[in-house]
Amino acid sequence: MRLIQLFFLCQLIMQATSGQTTIDNSPGKRFNRIDFKPSVYYREYSSANPVSLTINPGDIINTESVDAGGFDKEGQKKSERGNPLTGPFFIEGAEPGDAIAVTITKIALNRNYATTLEALVPRSLPGNTAKKKWRGAKLTRWNIDLENNIAMPANQHKHLQNMKIPLHPFLGCIGVAPEKTKKIPTGDSGPFGGNLDFKFMTETATVYLPVFHSGALLLMGDGHAVQGDGELNGDALETSMSFEFTAQVIKNGGADLAHPRAERQELYYGFWYREEFRQGFTNSYTKLTKLAAKRLPALIYRGNTGDWNFGSICYTENCSDEGRNGSYVAQRNSCIAQKV
- What pLDDT tens digit does each residue of the chain (340 aa) get? 333 334 333 333 333 333 454 454 444 566 799 999 999 999 999 999 999 999 999 999 999 999 999 999 999 999 999 999 999 999 999 999 999 999 999 999 999 999 998 888 887 777 787 787 787 788 889 999 999 999 999 987 777 778 899 999 999 999 999 999 999 999 888 889 998 888 889 999 999 999 999 999 999 999 999 998 777 788 899 999 999 999 999 999 988 787 788 888 877 776 665 544 555 555 555 554 554 455 444 433 333 344 445 444 433 333 333 333 333 333 444 444 444 4
pLDDT of residue 94: 98
* In-domain check, residue 58: yes
φ, ψ of residue 67 in degrees (nearest 5): -80, 180
Q: Are the beta carbons of 181 and 48 closer than 8 angstroms?
A: yes
pLDDT of residue 74: 96
* In-domain check, residue 234: yes
Q: How far, CA to CA in Å, does 48 sit from each of 44, 180, 212, 217?
A: 9, 10, 13, 10
- CATH number of the structural domain spanning residue 62: 2.60.120.580
Q: Residue 190's domain spans which residues?
A: 21-114+164-258
Bond prior to 166 in cis (omega within 30° of 0): no
Q: Which of 114, 335, 62 is nearest to 222 (CA)?
A: 114
pLDDT of residue 56: 97
pLDDT of residue 210: 95
Give the bridge partners for 268, in sequence order. Answer: 263, 338
Into how many domains does the chain fold? 1
* In-domain check, residue 277: no
pLDDT of residue 15: 35
* In-domain check, residue 27: yes
Helix (H, G, I), strand (E, B) or coil at 140: strand
* In-domain check, residue 180: yes
* In-domain check, residue 59: yes
pLDDT of residue 202: 94
